[in-house]
Structures are given as structure tokens and as C-alpha cells.
Amino acid sequence: MNTKFKMILDDIDAVTARDPATRSRTEALLCSAGLQAIIIYRGSHWLWKKNWKLTARVISQLARFLTGVEIHPGATIGRGFFIDHGMGVVIGETTEIGDNCTLYHGVTLGGSTVFSHKGKNTSKRHPTLGNNVIVGAGAQVLGPITIGDNVKIGANAVLLKNVAAGETVVGVPAHEVIRGKKKEPSGFMAYGVCPTDVDPVDCLLQNLQKEIDDLSKRLKEPKDGTK
């Protein structure tokens, strides 16, 4: 089987495996904007590597208009890639994505462009994602950082630094969660968040609120000898 065709089949199967609302390959092809964007990207990326860069960019802009997903043809994306819902996803030129990764709507894999006396930076400026990474809705992963295998990035997180393999990060700026006492569920985890994970910032805020409540209660208590 042709390698390119097999890669597209893997993308289709990723939709049917991870999206409970999609029941067949035909439904995935006809109804998944994320899949349609990926298929068009595969073609534009081939043109980009053949040095037909302007044509590749025009095709990618057409895909953006049709699907709401913007994938630069210079990005490198592995097998089994899944974009759920799709709208508002942006993937920059020097982004590298491993196999079996999942992105939800509103995700940005963005870059850092630094200008100097020599002109703008055209080197590596977008993130690198390992295999089996899940990026929740609205998350922003910015700059030439490295995200390890099996990392989960919570919805609306803003990630600006490297993440080791197997970690889960949430918040603004994104930080690692504390593992809950219960065992994490096995298999695919939608939106990259586990119910047993504990946000340390949330714990800190709860402790601070408890201290404030205790102090308020003590201040309201009558002093000894008062009427």
C-alpha cells in the first residue's frame, strides 16, 4: 500500500477511534473538518518539500477558508493525527508533531519571532510534540519548546516551557499537576484532563481562603472582658 495513502488511512482511523460521534470512515471523511484539513495538509506538505512553496501556501489558505484550521505546509506531522472539532486551530511552520497526537478546537502551536539587526528569525520557532500528546481546547503552546511523549495539556493552558514525558500540565502559565491517589484511567483521555489530577495552584488558593475565613471569624469574636 502506498505510504501516503496509508498515512491518510491512519488519520481517518484516528477520528473513528477517538471521536464517539463518528461511526464510520465515510462519516469521518464527509463530516470531520479536522480530518479534511489534515488531508489537504498532507498534499500541501508534499508540494512544500518539492519546493512548490507558493502553491503549497495557497492550498493551505484554501483549507483554512474551508475548515477553519490553519496548518502551515512546512509543519511536520506524524501518523494518526486527530483534530477534534477543528475550528480555530493554528499550527506554525516549524512545528513538529509525533504520531497519534490529538488537538482540540482553538489550539495554537505558535512561534516566537524575534527581530534583530539581521532581520526576522526564520529558524526553529515553534513547538515540538512527541508521540501520543493530547492538547485540550483553547490551549496555547508557544515557542521552540519540547513536549515529551504521552503529555497531556489541559484546556486553556498557556505553555511556555519544556514538559517531560508523561506529565499533565494545566493553568496560566501551565504547571504540572499533582497526581491523585486513584489510578489514572487507561486508554485515550479526552481533553487531556484526568479527574484524579489535582491542581497545586487551586490547592494553594483553597488553603489561603481557609486562612482568611479563620482570621475573619477570629476578628468577629468578642474580646475577653467586653460586653
User: What pTM did the predictor assign?
Assistant: 0.81
35 three-state secondary structure: helix
The predicted pLDDT at position 158 comes to 94
How is residue 199 annotated by DSSP?
Answer: -
pLDDT digits (tens, 9 = 90+) for 194-208: 666 666 677 777 778
Query: How confident is the model over 80-123, as pLDDT tens digits?
Result: 999 998 899 999 999 999 999 999 999 999 987 665 556 666 68
Position with higher pLDDT, 47 vs 226: 47
- For residue 15, what is its C-alpha cell? 477520528
Which of these, 74, 67, 3, 6, lies nearest to 38 by C-alpha position?
Answer: 67
From the number of C-beta atoms within 10 Å of its C-beta (0-12, 13-18, 19+), residue 207 rates as exposed
Average pLDDT over residues 121-130: 88
Q: Which pLDDT does position 209 carry in this prediction?
A: 81
What residues contact 140, with CB distance under 8 A and at least 6 apart? 107, 108, 110, 157, 158, 159
The residue ranges of DSSP E strands in the chain, in sequence order, are 70-71, 76-77, 82-83, 90-91, 96-97, 102-103, 108-110, 115-116, 119-120, 128-129, 134-135, 140-142, 146-147, 152-153, 158-159, 168-170, 175-176
Catalytic residues: 105
| Each residue's pLDDT tens digit, 25-59 | 999 999 999 999 999 999 999 999 999 999 999 99
Average pLDDT value for residue range 163-175: 90
